[in-house]
Structure formats: C-alpha cells, structure tokens
Structure 1
C-alpha cells in the first residue's frame, strides 16, 4: 500500500491572491463554465480526508450554508479554538505535523488541503504537502490576501502537468521533490 499523499488544491489570481482584502471571491466566477470542474472531481475520487483552515471553512459555510465535503468524507478544520465536532467535521487545534503523521499511518486514500493562506503556510513550513494543484485565474486583483506568505524554507518541486482551459484558467500540477 502506498503512503497517503497530501494534495493542495487551490486557486489564485495571476498576481498571487486567493481573496480580496474583504474576503470577496466573486472574481472566481469569471472562469465558471457549465459542466467544467477543472479536474476537481478526478482529484476527489482518490481523496477521503479534507483539510481546511477555519477562515476558509467559515467562508464556505457562509456561501453554501454547510461544508459539502463533510457529506462524503472526514473533514478537519484547523483552528486555534476548541470546538465540538460535528458530523464528519473535527475542529483540530493541536500540532499539524502530528495530525498529518497520524493520518498517513491510517489506511485510506489521499488527503486534500483547500487552504487558506495560514494553513498553507503552516503546512509548507513543515513541508507536509506532497502535490500542489494550483489554478491560476486570469485576473489581477492588485491587492488582497496572498496565497503564499513569506518566511518559508526553500522547497524543490517539479511540474508534472499544466493544462490551459478555454476560460483562460491555467492549472499547474507540481510534486514535491524528495529531499535528503
């Protein structure tokens, strides 16, 4: 059995933002096309665990009313608060390295991380992400919340695929190169 991979699946503007300063995501609608999910369903076929930061979780619940992934898989909301679990949702406020280590020891499929920036930085700080699937949305936001915050160690990655879509979205798929 192969080890479970941690996959970051996110979108950002051409200039590197995942949201405007006031958390507006309406600019993502510019690439919305009937029947096009940009490979999301294919990735999720091999995933049984979902990680999301608290702010992103709150935004999803604000937009949709609930966390859709919780209907199909175990979800971890990474937060600093102590909150009671809900159906398939665990609010996790301990060491992220410990969580990923424990999840990798369990049998199962891959683990997907959906952001936001604080969670991505934390996971990259500890080099916990195995694959990066980054969709570049054809818009410049000019300012907002950066997907990749500074202060990280260098990390070598290799491009394994790039796909351009009619909408102008370009999706880059990288894998982490194993270190010494």
Structure 2
C-alpha cells in the first residue's frame, strides 16, 4: 500500500571538499573555514526557512556537540532526529531513532510540514541512498583537497538518476550544487 505524501522533500544539505570528503579522519571540520567570509552564509538562512525537521547521524551529532560545547543548534529551530543503532532516550528536544529508516522518512513525508533537512554523515547518506529516499541533493563544494578523510558518498548504492537544478558559484570559490531525483 502506498503512503499518501504531502509535498515534503528530504533534502541532503551538506558541504564537502573538492575530493569528496566531509571531515578528516579525526572528524576535524576546521578546513571549512577556508570559505568563511563576514556576512556570507551561502544561502543557509534562506534554506533553513524551508525546513522544520532535521536528521543527522549519531557521529555527526556528537561532533557538533563537541564543537559547540554541548549545544546542538538545530534543536533550537527544528524537530531533530539523531539516527543511532543504540536505544537512547530522547532529551533536550532531540529524538534518538533506531528503527527502520524508510518507515521514519515515509512517516515524516506523510506529515504536514516543511521540508526535511538531512546533514549526514556518510553512513547515513549511504543508507538513505540505498532506499532512494533523498529527494534533493544540495552539496556545497569547498575549494580544498583534503587527500583523505571521511567520504560523503561511500559507494555501494544503486544508480540514482538526477536532474540538475541551478547551481551557484561564490567569490570564495565555494560552488553550491543542486540536483533532484528524476
């Protein structure tokens, strides 16, 4: 039986190095600062107004907590789901989810609301791609080659045909790519 869906989309919104990494081996994200420019948020605030739900993997969640001194900024504005293999009690407005990812995404898409923001990491992206659940890919390519680290796209997924949407290049060298499922 098909689930009736609203127009909610699951959007992967993430940055990667030119060679496809989202973090160094030790989860260092300081390389993202190469494109920091006062007053420039690369469309992040505008994008944030279009979403009300945030999905992230446990490793990325813990990395954000470490970088922010224990604060999880998305929880201040969005309903947050942290995907994990362990059973963890919800806290501070964050739902730790260890059930079937397809069930969660289908339920969220069938609910009324804005779009759903996915911020990875690579294991979560692969899981969502295996089930073909990502509706739109918004990838900011940072002009740096890391040489090694944690990949955004880990491979081993089925072919997914995409349609290019308008991309945008910024003075800093960042290029914001957009694709949607065909």
**Normalization by structure 1: what TM-score?**
0.96
2:46 aligned to 42, 45, 51, which one? 42
For normalisation by structure 2, the TM-score amounts to: 0.95
The match for 2:151 is: 146
Partner SS state of residue 10, structure 1? strand
Structure 2 unaligned residues grouped into runs of 5+: none
Runs of 4+ with >6 A deviation? none
Could you list the runs of 5+ residues in structure 1 that have no partner in the other structure? none
Which stretch shows the higher mean deviation, 17-26 or 50-59?
17-26
Instruction: Tell me how far 1:66 sits from its aligned partner.
Output: 1.3
Q: What is the aligned-residue RMSD (CA, Å)?
A: 1.0
What's the counterpart of residue 160 of structure 2?
A: 155
Q: For 1:45 and 1:99, how far apart are their aligned partners in 2? A: 22
Check the 8 A contact 1:73/1:88 in 2, yes or no.
no
Between the two proteins, the alignment pairs up a number of residues equal to: 177
1:175 maps to 2:180: yes
Q: Which residue of 1 aligns with 2:117?
A: 112
Shift of 1:2: 4.2
**Contact 2:139/2:177 (8 A) holds in 1:** yes
